Amino acid sequence: MKPNETFPISAISPKVAHEFYDSIRGKTFNKTKVIVSSHNYQLTPSIEDLGNLVARIQATGADIVKIATTALDITDVARMFQIMVHSQVPFIGLVMGDRGLISRILSAKFGGYLTFGTLESGVVSAPGQPTLKDLLYLYNLRQLAPDTKVFGIIGKPVGHSKSPILFNEVFKSIGLNGVYLFLLVDDLANFLRTYSSTDFVGFSVTIPHKETALKCCDEVDPVAKSIGAVNCIVRRPTDGKLIGYNTDYVGAITAIENGLRGKHNGSSTTISPLAGKLFVVIGAGGAGKALAYGAKAKGARVVIANRTYDHARKLAYAIGGDALALADLDNYHPEDGMILANTTSIGMQPKVDETPVSKHALKYYSLVFDAVYTPKITRLLKEAEESGATIVTGLEMFMGQAYGQYENFTGLPAPKELFRKIMENY
């Protein structure tokens, strides 16, 4: 341990801690720093109260001020960042909980003195603490600086997403000064209002915010407007306005078309293999709208199946299709060789035993697609393959929509081979 160096004891194991103490026993350090900390396990106080707390801690003679609070909403972290960036003393500011994760990563951008991580996943000294491995290698913490641009995936839940793995690795590989985060968001409009700096460049949007995102953008791409859902938001650097896009439909429809062409010996034609097919979409949310719009545009006959029939009927009317209650889907088989696309979260981790349709009904489908990609092979896809259908995983849609998002974020062509290479390693 060097003079002026602090050591986050909560980031090390008891064994390592004992070894550390043994190594310094009997030694003195002329410039030892004193950290005085305050923990609030209920909430994150107001800016004024946080400022007063900093002053009180300074008055104790502390060399370094540490404040840890609790995030009831991700916007609570913005108050900690504001205190951090204006602090006149070395300052450690952490907001605990999954909604506060960004405080532990972006402290490196906003001038925090240090952050904390754990050696083992799940073995934490405070709620929401990331591993040291993720801090260093997923988020590239050593390279974060005041001019680092912030990207992320907005959702609820969001921890299952592979987007941070993909985008952070791509950013690192091409030398882009950016970091891509998990953003557990309850109120999308409030989040976008709070993090309005042009340093917050772009966001992927997932369940359940895709339709709300349409209303939160200042401008919306015509295709996204037609679909009625946005899965990508970019903040324009010149005026800070939010521009909404939808890249879901291209990623999913292309993956399904490739699956159908593969089934027909790779035959290539300008006419989509979806033309004339009966295309059943499970779900009437943002992803369901994208799939329905894309399939209809390719000449398919579209049927929407949804738990709430009125939502299915509304979407079916909008795209010129038919509607069905999800409960009736097991007995719906007007013809053989149909296409099935699940756009709901049914079957996603941790509820991997769930499926939106019974196995006996899958024999009427020639291809089954599942937007869920955690796990890669869902129960729906496993049973569809056993029933003789071609299957297309959500990972294919994920990759396809990610290409479009990357191009919207950066204005550069997507390095598709690099994207695929990264995902093959996970």
Catalytic residue annotation:
39, 66, 210, 248
Q: Where are the alpha helices (DSSP H) in 139-278?
A: 163-174, 188-194, 210-216, 222-227, 248-263
CB contact at 8 A, 111 and 146 = yes
Quickly count: other Cβ atoms within 10 Å of residue 193's Cβ: 11
Contacts of 312 (CB under 8 A, 6+ apart): 284, 304, 305, 306, 323, 324, 325, 326
Nearest Cα to Cα of residue 323 among 277, 365, 291, 281: 281
Element (H, E) at 355: none
Q: What is the DSSP string of 112-173?
A: -S----BSSTT--SSTTPPBHHIIIIIS-GGG--TT-EEEEEEESS-TT--HHHHHHHHHHH
Q: Rounded CA gap, 156 and 158, in Å?
A: 5
Q: Rounded CA gap, 180 and 232, in Å?
A: 13
Task: Calculate the alpha carbon distances from 302 to 167, 287, 341 in Å.
Answer: 33, 14, 11
CA torsion sign for 378, 381, 384, 388 is negative
Nearest Cα to Cα of residue 126 among 37, 50, 35: 37
Task: Calculate the alpha carbon distances from 335 to 33, 277, 362 in Å.
Answer: 75, 10, 12
Task: Calculate the alpha carbon distances from 146 to 20, 179, 199, 259 in Å.
Answer: 33, 12, 9, 45
Q: Rounded CA gap, 383 and 363, in Å?
A: 10
DSSP for residue 195: S
Task: Calculate the alpha carbon distances from 153 to 182, 208, 256 in Å.
Answer: 5, 12, 24
Secondary structure class of 192 (helix, strand, coil): helix
Secondary structure class of 188 (helix, strand, coil): helix
Peptide bond into 375 cis (omega under 30): yes
Q: Rounded CA gap, 226 and 315, in Å?
A: 11
